[in-house]
Amino acid sequence: MPIPPINVSKLILKIYLGRRNFGKLFHGSPNNKNRGFSGNKHFKQPKQHNPNIWNFPNANNNPNIGGQVEGLLNQFGLGNQLTHQIGGLINGISANFFAPNPNSPIPPHVQRRIMRFCSRNPNHPKCQGHPEWILPQGSIPAAPNVGNAFDLNSIFPNLVNFHLTPVPQLPLQNLLNGVPNILQQVVVPLVGQITAIAKQAILNICSQRGDCLKQKPESLNMRASIAEQEAAIARAHHPGRPQEQLDNEVELRLARTFQVKKALIRKAGLEGHVEPANNGVYQEDILLTEQQANALINQINQNSAGVGVVPQPSRFKRAGNSLYLEGVPNQQWPLGQPIQYMFDVSVTSEADKNAVRQAINEIQSRVQCLSFREVNSKPTGSHLYYVKYALPGFCGQSYVGRLDVVNPIYLSFGCGNPAGIALHETLHALGLQHEQLRIDRDRFITINWQNVNPQKYDAFAVSDATKFTSYGVRYDYGSIMHYSSTIATQNFGQKTMTAKINPQSNDPIMGQRNGLSETDVVELRRMYCMPECKDNNVYCGIWAVSNLCYSQDGFAQGWMLQNCRKSCSFCGN
């Protein structure tokens, strides 16, 4: 029996997005009898309305969307064969488009491009024999409107046979050579390590949930969506490079990001129990370059304290909750000249643009050595590039530190204070990291591991001490770079972090997005306004906040005076 001419496309999209109100979809509009099922002779109204009939579990949390729909349609008297056809169709679309397999030799974002092309051109020779590439008419999700490039979906892409190359082995160096013993004793444990109590709490959660090894559809959906945005922007900024090369580079970055998260799980002793979310981001909102990911994997895999990956000009090395710019001057934005920024074509609303401008004005008004200039066409040098990107549950994403040519900053403009979100993501691009992942964070917050989503473990793994510095700035619960106390929780509203100092006052201010805190300003000034004052060791920040600038050990104090001038404020403030 063929599927009757119902509006399957709206059914698929609304159910996939987890919308609750399906009344108009099924019962049709009073002004249009052909919308929904009410104008279909095969449809039978249910005898009695059930107020819970529309309340599916969110489809983003359930890969068997089709099975949920089959059960619902059976309640409306549709035949089993028909409902099975519809359910199978929905499952196929959710699996192939919304949650494409990242292990396929064709990268997920290229799979989507193929499906858009073949859905519009089902009789094209390259689409023949591939029904899995063809979506029902009217249900083709729109392509990203970014980059102002030609429509990549108007041509059949060359099938990219992606092959993930091994992670390169990078040279290591001992960062503690010549450092006084009293200072070496303060060096923190290795990145990725957790206590036995924390590990057991995560194992208990997974035992109760039973799904810690399953990838969630919403994670795969986000990964593919990020890749589509990145590929479109790469095309716009590198028009002379082959699209296949750009697609491979995008896929490599996302694959490496997942390898970083798996390395953290392995280091924590959770391999085989937890599969991290393959959603394309690190620590919830950070995009990693290939070089950053390679360096992190090498650092996680080594087991000696005080040993770090050697920074090289072509490698992007991150630092503290701020970049250790002395180690990677190529990631610092040039001093003495405005940082250029522009809006992608996706940012059309003046309200959205003004939110970004408000964030930028706050930075340059409070950190006088930093200035910005808005441009309307692509500049030749590095610049910030603001993109509007709407995805359920998404607020913003950014890279950390200056990138060559373009720093894309993705914003939904749909979360809380849009200017505050723009400010947070812009500070990532300037080199600031998350406050709650500082290497001294355990002095100030308690991680409630029993409430943490195990698949988002990377959101709580303390940052690598060889890559990150505080520049001697104290921990700040109210930093705009701090996450909220419920970030990455497994149950809505449960706290994953609690302040150790005055939690009644400090818990509520975690995650504020109202503006820069005083410590945010101090940190930016130390990063950018003191070019003649330098730290010679990435650990200077932790030694400074450990009150070792004026050590009773004469040799240590002399060493700090010579090598940690910035973190210890020996050059002034």
Binding site: residue ranges? 424, 428, 434
Which tokens sit at 226? 């990020």
Antiparallel, parallel or unpaired: β 497-499 and 445-447 = antiparallel
Region of residue 547 (left: phi > 0; alpha: psi -120 to 50; beta: else): left
Neighbours of 297 (CB within 10 A): 21
Question: Binding-site residues for Zn(2+), please?
Answer: 424, 428, 434
* Buried b / exposed e along 349-379 (16+ C-beta atoms within 10 A): eeebbebbbbbbebbeeebeebebeeeeeee
Angle between helices 80-93 and 8-16 (to 10 degrees): 60
Q: Is 532 a catalytic residue?
A: no
What is the separation of C-alpha 103 from the centre of its chain, rounded to a whole number of angstroms? 20
CA distances from 55 to 21, 29, 102, 345, 545 (A): 8, 20, 30, 37, 52
Rounded Cα–Cα distance for residues 108 and 98 (Å): 9
Residues 6+ apart with CB under 8 A from 389: 144, 146, 225, 229, 346, 397, 410, 411, 412
Rounded Cα–Cα distance for residues 566 and 472 (Å): 8
Angle between helices 243-267 and 108-120 (to 10 degrees): 140
Catalytic residue among 275, 425, 435, 523: 425
Residue type at 21?
N
Residue type at 315?
R
CA distances from 304 to 174, 189, 190 (A): 9, 9, 7
Rounded Cα–Cα distance for residues 243 and 25 (Å): 39
310 in Cβ contact with 171 (< 8 Å): yes
CA distances from 114 to 130, 140, 561, 568 (A): 10, 11, 61, 56
* Buried b / exposed e along 460-489 (16+ C-beta atoms within 10 A): bbbbbbbbbbbbbbebbbbbbbbbbbbbbb
Which tokens sit at 250? 């995008």
DSSP for 483-539, please give it: PPTTTTBSSTT--SEEESS-HHHHHHHTT--SS--HHHHHHHHHHHS-TT--BSSTT
435 in Cβ contact with 411 (< 8 Å): no
142: burial class by Cβ within 10 Å (0-12, 13-18, 19+)? exposed
Rounded Cα–Cα distance for residues 210 and 197 (Å): 20
- Ranges of H-type helices in 320-387: 350-366
65 in Cβ contact with 59 (< 8 Å): yes
- Positions annotated as catalytic residues are 425
